[in-house]
């Protein structure tokens, strides 16, 4: 299992490096305002995908071993196409964006969500290696495409970035379809409506949590955004992108954890696994964040350009929240693996309300630093809620939450064993 985790961390690290490179390149070519535009487009795609995943989200991993796979895929695909179409019509009707931008969001959000369905199916079968391959392909293709367009073809229009999304999302979707094709059955069972209802019941609760969480993560963009000046959004979103990169560790750990817990019926096994992995995640998250903060502000200015002076100061305001969430993500996936999605939904809803209220009160007055501190407070509050409920649910002694000397020895042994096995 730890080999799978470290392998997934490696994949997530590669993906983070690729995304970080994209942030650097786009910042240098398009400046803070261009980064602001890109961040808003990506946020819009993510928001539409959130609603798409009311059927077809991470709950598929939980349902794969419990429902007919072909029915799950069919209902998920139909739902995603329907939601993307409704979003396209609404955005057009409300004139929230230009027609060209709306069309891009429609196709990209659909490709993104369909690929996620296939990846979640693979996780349900514990095919973590294939899941990781898709992630690598998507990141690698996007960075290569961007470099080719900007440095070889000398295409410096910001629409080039959107084109690279089409290419990378499209290839990732094709590859994911190939991987899951072996699990498809020729005929559908007659209980397809019941499967759809079950998928929606689980998916709606889970996606509400993700939706509330997404609003908490990105609401500051809305408050900071000024149609005549998107510089603040560009600077803040860049600091967020750098800081959130350390979540690749907890994200990789939780992928393996969720896949394992979804396929076990023993609650004690799930609890022990969660305790061990939460500490592992905390230690690695602290080390990763410390490394980013040791780099001088001049380093980030060198990477992104003079428009991004002060990025490190914003990262400092985010640190407490980034570390706490890196710890709590494992507890969140514990409840998801047990099918108790309502726990994460409640916690995320509370965090969203706190974020909205504090953002409206403080960001207009104190600006970007306030946005960072609000995020930290919200993440820490969510962590406390999840950990308290875990203790209540598992009846485990609170002392077991803290990293002990024996835990550190265990982690060293795991890393040593994995390293030695790779060398041999």
- 52-86 pLDDT, tens digit per residue, is 777 766 777 777 777 777 778 888 888 888 888 88
pLDDT at 6 over 70: no
Tokens of 288: 């990763």
Predicted local distance difference test score (pLDDT) of residue 227: 62
Mean pLDDT value of segment 126-146: 90
What domain range includes position 257?
2-417
Number of structural domains (the chain) is 1
Asked whether 357 and 370 are in contact (CB, 8 A), the reply is: no
Mean pLDDT value of segment 253-261: 80
Q: Is residue 16 assigned to a domain?
A: yes
Q: Is residue 423 assigned to a domain?
A: no
pLDDT at 423 over 50: no
Percent of residues, the chain, with pLDDT higher than 90: 26
Predicted local distance difference test score (pLDDT) of residue 168: 94
Q: Is residue 424 assigned to a domain?
A: no
Residue in 208, 44, 198, 54 with CA at minimum distance from that of residue 117:
54
pLDDT at 138 over 90: yes
- 28-52 pLDDT, tens digit per residue, is 888 877 887 887 788 788 878 777 7
Q: Helix (H, G, I), strand (E, B), or coil: what is residue 240?
A: helix
Tokens of 43: 């946020």
What does the mean pLDDT of the chain come to? 83
- Look at 81 and 23; give whichever has higher pLDDT: 81
Q: Is residue 281 assigned to a domain?
A: yes
pLDDT at 328 over 80: yes
Percent of residues, the chain, with pLDDT higher than 70: 91
Looking at the DSSP bridge assignments, the partners of residue 229 are 226
- 178-227 pLDDT, tens digit per residue, is 999 887 765 555 566 777 777 777 777 877 887 888 888 888 888 887 66
- Look at 38 and 407; give whichever has higher pLDDT: 38
pTM to 2 decimals? 0.69
Predicted local distance difference test score (pLDDT) of residue 294: 93
- 383-393 pLDDT, tens digit per residue, is 999 999 999 98
Predicted local distance difference test score (pLDDT) of residue 169: 94
Q: Is residue 373 assigned to a domain?
A: yes
pLDDT at 228 over 70: no
- Look at 353 and 2; give whichever has higher pLDDT: 353
H runs (alpha helix) in 225-340: 231-244, 247-262, 267-294, 297-304, 311-337
| Torsion on CA atoms 118, 122, 125, 127, rounded to nearest 10 | 170
Q: Is residue 233 assigned to a domain?
A: yes
Q: Is residue 326 assigned to a domain?
A: yes
Q: Is residue 422 assigned to a domain?
A: no
């Amino acid at each position: 299992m730890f080999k799978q985790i470290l392998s997934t961390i490696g994949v997530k690290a590669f993906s983070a490096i690729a995304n970080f490179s994209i942030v650097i390149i786009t910042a240098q070519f398009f400046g803070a305002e261009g980064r602001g535009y890109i961040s808003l487009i990506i946020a819009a795609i993510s928001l539409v995908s959130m609603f798409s995943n009311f059927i077809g989200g991470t709950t598929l991993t939980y349902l794969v071993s419990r429902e007919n796979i072909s029915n799950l895929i069919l209902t998920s695909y139909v739902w995603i196409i329907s939601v993307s179409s409704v979003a396209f019509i609404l955005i057009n009707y409300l004139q929230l964006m230009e027609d060209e931008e709306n069309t891009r969001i429609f196709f990209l959000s659909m490709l993104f969500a369909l690929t996620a369905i296939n990846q979640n199916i693979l996780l349900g079968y514990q095919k973590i290696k294939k899941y990781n391959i898709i992630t690598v392909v998507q990141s690698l293709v996007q960075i290569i495409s961007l470099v080719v367009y900007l440095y070889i073809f000398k295409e410096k229009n910001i629409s080039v970035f959107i084109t690279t999304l089409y290419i990378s999302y499209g290839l990732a979707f094709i590859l994911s379809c190939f991987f899951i094709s072996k699990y498809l059955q020729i005929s559908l069972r007659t209980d397809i409506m019941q499967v759809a209802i079950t998928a929606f019941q689980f998916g709606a609760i889970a996606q509400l949590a993700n939706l509330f969480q997404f609003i908490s993560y990105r609401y500051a963009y809305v408050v900071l955004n000024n149609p005549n000046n998107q510089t603040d959004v560009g600077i803040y979103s860049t600091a967020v992108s750098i800081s959130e990169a350390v979540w690749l560790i907890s994200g990789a750990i939780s992928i393996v954890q969720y896949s394992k817990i979804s396929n076990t019926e023993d609650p004690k096994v799930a609890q022990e696994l969660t305790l061990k992995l939460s500490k592992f995640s905390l230690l690695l998250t602290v080390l990763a964040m410390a490394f980013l903060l040791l780099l001088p502000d001049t380093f980030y200015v060198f990477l992104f350009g003079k428009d991004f002076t002060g990025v490190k100061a914003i990262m400092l305001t985010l640190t407490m929240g980034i570390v706490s969430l890196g710890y709590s993500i494992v507890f969140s996936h514990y409840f998801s693996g047990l099918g108790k999605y309502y726990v994460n939904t409640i916690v995320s809803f509370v965090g969203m309300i706190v974020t909205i209220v504090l953002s409206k009160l403080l960001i207009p007055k104190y600006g970007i630093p306030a946005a960072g501190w609000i995020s930290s407070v919200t993440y820490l509050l969510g962590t406390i809620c999840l950990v308290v409920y875990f203790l209540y649910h598992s009846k485990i002694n609170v002392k077991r939450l803290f990293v002990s000397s024996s835990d550190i020895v265990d982690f060293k042994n795991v890393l040593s064993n994995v390293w030695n096995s790779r060398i041999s």
